[in-house]
């Protein structure tokens, strides 16, 4: 006999000005189940979660916990119904201790005075349910803890309120492999105790590793609910993208790995170094070439890019552009030399959230022109509209605030910003992190198009298959050192991993 649902959402509707975000969406979660919520950026995943947790009021439909209708009006209200969320950017208070964060708003009091000993005891008990009481100091300040520990603290907070439903929104995007493994072990233990877990992620391997069921959304509508064991990966990707499986196979094919002969060397890096960031490194980057940087977390990939773009000043070495030694000591200088850089963290160093799409797109162009030479409004509109169309940025208007876009569309806006200055070199640091399969394929197609048009690209990605698919040469880094350079048919995930492990 099939178990009764823990959580049901039926016919959920939600609209914003000019956008119908959810259209008659159903979702069912059972006790002791890990249920992956999948879809492209803009598919409606985040909106559905925000409706469930009371961030947004629903425009239609019903929700019930264990058969009782619920109407959460805020995340705090949702917690009263047993629904707790751990977001990609952990939503806790960094200057408070671990114990204070776990018990925040629910502290034991006597005559109005917080009983801190009791708070610490409760925090330890919550961590003990995760089998983490020996590994995390409840008196440590949260800001001194790693992102992985902060996520565990957020989960412990959910246990402290006796949550029945735990929502994990992109929980592994900032974790390394060992930290992700620890999280999956905790999820398995919570599942065994009967908790229902909604798992939002873009990592397909992780979906199939831990999930029992998969619900797919596309364009705000339900595509279907499936057993994870019965839905082949290719079919999942096809349903997310709204394509046939045969089309997805074509998108997964690796790009040509040879570099055309006679290409001009645009940039030569010789013994470039910065103390504490990168050890002396040499490489060339040619016109019309994608050079990949591969390595584990802490290998020096992003640090190399930041020194090259002038975010951090080099202590030694030199950069030659067209054979002439050039000092790149600031991003402004890098831009004048024709460099662009998409940083790995679009939220904190990419988008300007309270500016419009148009303003974000013309930002680098305006910076190059200087404060005294303003881009005329008509020209700005034409530039923005051109890139919105060319990159298929899904928005009702160029005047939409960029913070209201999905992650994938925000990434396209940042790419448009740099393309607007017609760069010779475009540095892409994790260009597909936290975005859906469909948008990832579009960005990879754009990388190949820019390469074929003669642009030089430096590609950094923690996803080795992405580096392998798109690079003509790959520098392999380990412990802030370049340890190998691969080209042509030598480029493979196996070869890169073997090189790192040597």
Q: In CATH, what number is assigned to the domain containing residue 228?
A: 3.40.50.300
Q: Would 459 be classed as within a structural domain?
A: yes
Nearest to 265 by CA among 318, 321, 305: 321
Same domain, yes or no: 214 and 314: no
Find the DSSP H helices in 318-362.
331-336, 346-349, 357-361
Identify the pLDDT of residue 175. 73
Q: Would 344 be classed as within a structural domain?
A: no
Which residue range(s) make up the domain with 279? Answer: 263-338+423-502
Same domain, yes or no: 193 and 235: yes
Same domain, yes or no: 361 and 396: yes
44-91 per-position pLDDT tens digit? 998 999 999 999 999 999 999 999 999 999 988 998 999 988 876 667
Q: Would 466 be classed as within a structural domain?
A: yes
Same domain, yes or no: 156 and 303: no
Same domain, yes or no: 121 and 173: yes
The tokens for 408 are: 């994938």
Same domain, yes or no: 333 and 482: yes
Domain boundary among 390, 422, 454: 422
Domain boundary among 252, 273, 292: 252
Identify the pLDDT of residue 249. 59
Same domain, yes or no: 186 and 117: yes
Same domain, yes or no: 241 and 291: no
Number of domains in the chain: 3
Phi, psi of 45 (to 5 degrees): -60, -55
Q: Would 81 be classed as within a structural domain?
A: yes
Identify the pLDDT of residue 318. 92
Same domain, yes or no: 410 and 427: no
Q: Would 384 be classed as within a structural domain?
A: yes
∠ CA 255-257-263, nearest 5°, is 115
Domain boundary among 206, 226, 252: 252
Identify the pLDDT of residue 259. 47
- Give DSSP secondary structure letters for 282-320: EEEEETT-EEEEE--TTSSHHHHHHHHTTSS--SEEEEE
Low-confidence residues of the chain: pLDDT under 70: 1-3, 41, 88-90, 133, 174, 243-262, 297
Q: Would 208 be classed as within a structural domain?
A: yes
Helix (H), strand (E) at residue 476: strand 473-478
Identify the pLDDT of residue 184. 93
Q: Would 100 be classed as within a structural domain?
A: yes
Identify the pLDDT of residue 495. 87
Phi, psi of 326 (to 5 degrees): -135, 140
Between CA 144 and CA 474 the distance in angstroms is 35
Same domain, yes or no: 29 and 91: yes
Identify the pLDDT of residue 252. 52
Same domain, yes or no: 382 and 436: no
Structure letter (DSSP) for residue 68: E
- Give DSSP secondary structure letters for 146-207: -HHHHHHHHHHHHHHTT-SEEEEESTTTT--HHHHHHHHHHHHHHHHTT-EEEEE-S-HHHH
Identify the pLDDT of residue 316. 92
Q: Would 194 be classed as within a structural domain?
A: yes
Name 342's bridge partners: 428
Same domain, yes or no: 443 and 384: no
């Amino acid at each position: 006999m099939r178990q009764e649902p823990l959580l049901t959402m039926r016919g959920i509707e939600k609209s914003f000005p000019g956008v119908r975000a959810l259209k008659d969406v159903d979702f069912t979660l059972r006790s002791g189940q890990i249920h992956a919520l999948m879809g492209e950026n803009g598919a409606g995943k985040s909106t559905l979660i925000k409706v469930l947790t009371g961030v947004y009021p629903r425009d239609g439909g019903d929700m019930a916990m264990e058969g009782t209708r619920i109407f959460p009006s805020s995340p705090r209200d949702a917690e009263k119904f047993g629904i707790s969320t751990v977001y990609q950017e952990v939503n806790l208070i960094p200057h408070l201790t671990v114990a204070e964060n776990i018990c925040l708003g629910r502290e034991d009091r006597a005559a109005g005075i917080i009983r801190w000993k009791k708070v610490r005891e409760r925090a330890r008990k919550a961590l003990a349910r995760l089998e983490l009481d020996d590994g995390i100091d409840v008196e440590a300040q949260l800001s001194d803890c790693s992102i992985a520990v902060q996520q565990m603290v957020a989960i412990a907070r959910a246990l402290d309120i006796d949550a029945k439903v735990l929502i994990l929104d992109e929980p592994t995007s900032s974790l390394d492999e060992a930290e992700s493994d620890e999280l999956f072990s905790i999820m398995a233990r919570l599942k065994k105790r009967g908790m229902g877990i909604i798992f939002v992620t873009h990592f397909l391997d992780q979906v199939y590793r831990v999930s029992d069921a998969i619900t797919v959304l596309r364009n705000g509508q339900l595509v279907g609910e499936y057993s994870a064991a019965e839905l082949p990966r290719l079919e999942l990707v096809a349903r997310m993208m709204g394509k046939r499986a045969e089309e997805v196979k074509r998108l997964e094919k690796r790009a040509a790995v040879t570099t055309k002969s006679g290409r001009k060397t645009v940039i030569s890096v010789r013994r470039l170094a910065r103390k504490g960031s990168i050890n002396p490194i040499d490489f060339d980057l040619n016109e019309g070439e994608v050079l990949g940087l591969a390595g584990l977390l802490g290998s020096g990939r992003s640090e190399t890019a930041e020194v090259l773009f002038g975010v951090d000043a080099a202590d030694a070495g030199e950069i030659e552009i067209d054979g002439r030694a050039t000092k790149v000591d600031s991003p402004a200088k890098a831009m004048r030399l024709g460099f662009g850089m998409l940083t790995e963290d679009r939220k904190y160093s990419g988008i300007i959230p309270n500016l419009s799409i148009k303003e974000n797109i013309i930002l680098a162009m305006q910076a190059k022109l200087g404060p005294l030479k303003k881009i005329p409004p008509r020209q700005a509109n034409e530039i923005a509209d051109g890139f919105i169309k060319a990159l298929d940025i899904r928005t009702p208007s160029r005047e939409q605030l960029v913070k209201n876009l999905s992650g994938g569309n925000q990434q396209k806006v940042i790419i448009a910003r740099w393309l607007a200055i017609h760069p010779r070199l475009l540095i892409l640091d994790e260009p597909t992190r936290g975005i859906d399969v469909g948008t990832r394929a579009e960005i990879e197609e754009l990388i190949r198009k820019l390469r074929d048009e003669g642009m030089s690209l430096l590609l950094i990605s923690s996803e080795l298959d992405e580096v392998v698919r798109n690079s003509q040469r790959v520098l392999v880094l380990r412990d802030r050192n370049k340890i190998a350079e691969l080209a042509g048919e030598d480029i493979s995930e196996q070869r890169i991993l073997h090189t790192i492990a040597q």
